[in-house]
Structure 1
Amino acid sequence: MKITGVRSHVLSCDMPETLGYSQQYYSKRTAHLVEVSTDEGLTGWGECFGPGAVATANAGIVEGVIAPMIMGMDPRDRDVCWHRVYNLLRDHGQKGMPIQALSGVDIALWDITGQAAGLSISRLIGGRHRDRVGVYGYGMMLRPEPVGELAERFADEAAAIRDTGFRATKMKVGLGVRDDIRLAEAVRRGVGDGFDVMVDANHAYDVNDALEVGRALDDLGAYWFEEPVAPEDREGYATLRRTLRTRIAGGEAEYTRWGWRDLLASGGLSIAQPEVCALGGISEYLRVLALCHAHHVPVVNHVWGSAIAVATNMQLLAAMPPLPGGLHPREPWLEFDTTENWFRDEMLTEALDIQGQVAANNGTVALPDRPGLGVVPDPDFLNRHRIDR
């Protein structure tokens, strides 16, 4: 079998309202899919992390740089393909956009390999530790409105996520210390005690402000504090982990086994959040997962993007060993964006229906066991939302 084509599909649509996080507001949703075709008729799908203009730039890397490197190779030789691309790009980008681009290609190669073998990706990895997984719903995105109105909206939205059946919820912060504490208090009020709440700062703070917010989160019983400081501030992460009771989570902005080796050695993470569509794809994710578990750091995958990203993570969650094990280990969660997302909910020929499953099955979803990723995008949907580059 040989690779005969590598194509990017950059999709865009208007959102029903402007949403944001600590770094920006946005009113369009973007997704970047990678389609790899073969001479035997099999097609694999992957996804590259990165919105907006980043997606467009990554598409150029996929088609103009990576595709010529792997054309004619056997897609089942995915680790050979991965190292060929990485070694040739080492001088031009060991992190960031070249690795995001490689991620989507690698996921597509795994999809082809699973289809060729008649096995799901989770079985290719080594087997399924679980057939269902709990889901946490993130919402409570920032909006350009007064903090008092936003706090009331956050309380109501958090309660709605809980009442829909999700196992836990996650909110955004980034307005400043006092306003962020007010938002966190509103979310705790909305869900009540005994329901896990996570807080995502998207590296909004320096370590002093993060400590102030973190102490408030300790009092509120937050489960984790995500990306509290810049990903480069390894010492800041370690300080927060030593000082706060709330778990410190992060890692979505880290790349490859080498970056993760140094991140884990710094001792700043209570929970690791690798992003498979950014760090180097499934091939590299498995090496990162092994590093995390070797450091006894539990993993809750970062999930952002279209149905391809969600399906990829569902396969990885099925195959993730429990840490540390036992009769009643804390199982990993699937992260789920509760805001409107056509690229997740409307894009496939057969929808994943995460929300419906959560509501009907005590906050859990079934993990697909069909060959490869087990999902196929609807070509008519792609044609409607593809943007010209």
Structure 2
Amino acid sequence: MKITDVKTYNLRYPLVEPFANSRGWTNARTAVVVEIRTDAGITGWGEGVSVPSASAVEAHLIGQSPFETERIWEAMRGDIGALSGIDIALWDIMGKALDMPIYQLLGGAFQLKIPAYASGLFKKDKPDITQALMDEAKGYVEAGFPAVKMKIGFGEAYDVENVAAVRRAIGDDTLFAVDANCGYDVGTAIDVGQKLLDYDLFWYEEPITSDDVAGYREIRHALKVRIAGGEMLKGRWAFRDLLQERGLDIVQPDLSIAGGFTECRKIAAMASANYVRVLPHMWGGSIRLAATLHWQATLPDAPQALNPIPSLLEFDMTENRLRTALAQQPIKCR
């Protein structure tokens, strides 16, 4: 089997209601979809975050076997954001050719049911943002989600007031994570984090920029809460020091950013060797969601105990028809 054609689709969905994280406002959702065709009539689909160059596609994909994922990965690693979508599509082809789900190609599923957390609670242009956040959070709990994640990083006053309000809305039994999207420096992250400890946080995500290894270690040692991050890192090298220096309790590679299945398997192995739990990041379209489910099913609990840290799937609850309408049968939580 040989690759005969590669097409990319740079998709954009304008939001009806914009929302913000600590870095800025989002007015549209985007996805780079990759379609790879073969001479066997099998087509693979992937989702990345950038468009591969025509020269790279011609040199390293056309005429090649889709089963040679390692060799193709090394040849194209100059643009990991584009390579991520290509790699996912190659694994899709292999699964279809062998009539096997990707989780089996990756070694088998440790779990066929994965608890999901509702990922939302962004800042919006509302007359009463606190009440809006409380209503949204309460809706997630009523829908059955065992955990929710909220956006912070907007300043101490906003963060403390609204984290307290959301905790009241969801009650004491719901797991509660917060995500600052790299919005703070080390000192501010520690100061705000200490004020948020009263609200029983399950983890504190990306308080500072992803590559500040020393800063993450400082925050982790200063706060009695799990520190998570790594969603924007690309390739195993970007994760190496953060894992080996134990800057994180939970690492969150994104399949469509970090390098697809081929690379994320290596990142997960490196995390395991350093006793760091892997809970993948997922904030994209329907292809990325399906791929993430397959990969996450293959990740064992860590530590392997009767009551490990639960394997929580990030289920994006924001408006995004690239996730809810692009697939003929969109993935839904039950």
> 1:324 offset after TM fit, Å?
1.9
1:114 aligns with 2:105: no
> 1:242 aligns to what SS in structure 2?
helix
**Measured at CA, do residues 177 and 67 of structure 1 come closer, stay the same or move farther in structure 2, by a change above 3 Å?**
farther
1:158 equivalent in structure 2: 137
1:179 aligns with 2:170: no
1:280 equivalent in structure 2: 259
CA distance in 2, matches of 1:234, 1:144: 34
**Measured at CA, do residues 35 and 62 of structure 1 come closer, stay the same or move farther in structure 2, by a change above 3 Å?**
farther
2:56 equivalent in structure 1: 65
> 1:70 offset after TM fit, Å?
1.6
**Measured at CA, do residues 219 and 180 of structure 1 come closer, stay the same or move farther in structure 2, by a change above 3 Å?**
same
Q: TM-score, normalised by structure 1?
A: 0.83
CA distance in 1, matches of 2:140, 2:271: 30
CA distance in 1, matches of 2:26, 2:210: 22
CA distance in 1, matches of 2:147, 2:53: 36
2:271 equivalent in structure 1: 292
1:305 aligns with 2:284: yes
Which of 130, 133, 156 is 2:111 aligned to?
Answer: 130
2:25 equivalent in structure 1: 25
2:10 equivalent in structure 1: 10
- Is 1:138–1:170's contact at 8 Å kept on the other side of the alignment? yes
- Is 1:159–1:191's contact at 8 Å kept on the other side of the alignment? yes
**Measured at CA, do residues 67 and 218 of structure 1 come closer, stay the same or move farther in structure 2, by a change above 3 Å?**
farther
> 1:173 offset after TM fit, Å?
1.3
1:366 equivalent in structure 2: none
> 2:277 aligns to what SS in structure 1?
coil
Deviations 1:116-175 (A, max 9, x none): 1111110001111111100000111112346xx111111111111111111100011132
Matches within 5 A, 1:1-389: 1-49=1-49, 58-59=50-51, 61-86=52-77, 89=78, 98-145=79-126, 149-354=128-333, 357=334
- Is 2:211–2:242's contact at 8 Å kept on the other side of the alignment? no
CA distance in 1, matches of 2:163, 2:57: 43
CA distance in 2, matches of 1:285, 1:41: 28
CA distance in 2, matches of 1:137, 1:253: 20
Higher relative CO (Cα under 8 Å, sequence separation at least 6) belongs to 1
CA distance in 2, matches of 1:145, 1:63: 44
CA distance in 2, matches of 1:167, 1:64: 47
- What amino acid does structure 1 have at the position aligned with 2:121? M
- What amino acid does structure 2 have at the position aligned with 1:249? A
- What amino acid does structure 2 have at the position aligned with 1:209? T
CA distance in 2, matches of 1:340, 1:273: 22
> 1:64 offset after TM fit, Å?
4.4
CA distance in 2, matches of 1:64, 1:353: 38
- Is 1:252–1:275's contact at 8 Å kept on the other side of the alignment? yes
> 1:216 aligns to what SS in structure 2?
helix
CA distance in 1, matches of 2:307, 2:193: 29
**Measured at CA, do residues 135 and 40 of structure 1 come closer, stay the same or move farther in structure 2, by a change above 3 Å?**
same
> 1:4 offset after TM fit, Å?
0.8
- What amino acid does structure 2 have at the position aligned with 1:185? A
- What amino acid does structure 1 have at the position aligned with 2:274? H
Say which is worse superposed, 127-136 or 338-347, in terms of deviation. Answer: 338-347
> 1:67 offset after TM fit, Å?
4.4
The structure where helix makes up a greater share of residues is: 1
CA distance in 2, matches of 1:304, 1:174: 18
Q: TM-score, normalised by structure 2?
A: 0.96
> 2:209 aligns to what SS in structure 1?
coil
> 2:264 aligns to what SS in structure 1?
helix
- What amino acid does structure 1 have at the position aligned with 2:36? V
- Is 2:302–2:308's contact at 8 Å kept on the other side of the alignment? yes
- What amino acid does structure 2 have at the position aligned with 1:73? Q
Say which is worse superposed, 249-258 or 282-291, in terms of deviation. Answer: 249-258
**Measured at CA, do residues 73 and 155 of structure 1 come closer, stay the same or move farther in structure 2, by a change above 3 Å?**
same
> 1:254 offset after TM fit, Å?
1.5
> 2:194 aligns to what SS in structure 1?
helix
CA distance in 2, matches of 1:234, 1:123: 34
- What amino acid does structure 2 have at the position aligned with 1:234? V
CA distance in 2, matches of 1:179, 1:350: 38
1:54 equivalent in structure 2: none
- What amino acid does structure 2 have at the position aligned with 1:326? A
- What amino acid does structure 1 have at the position aligned with 2:37? S
> 1:133 aligns to what SS in structure 2?
coil
- Is 2:4–2:38's contact at 8 Å kept on the other side of the alignment? yes
> 1:260 offset after TM fit, Å?
1.3
CA distance in 2, matches of 1:232, 1:132: 33
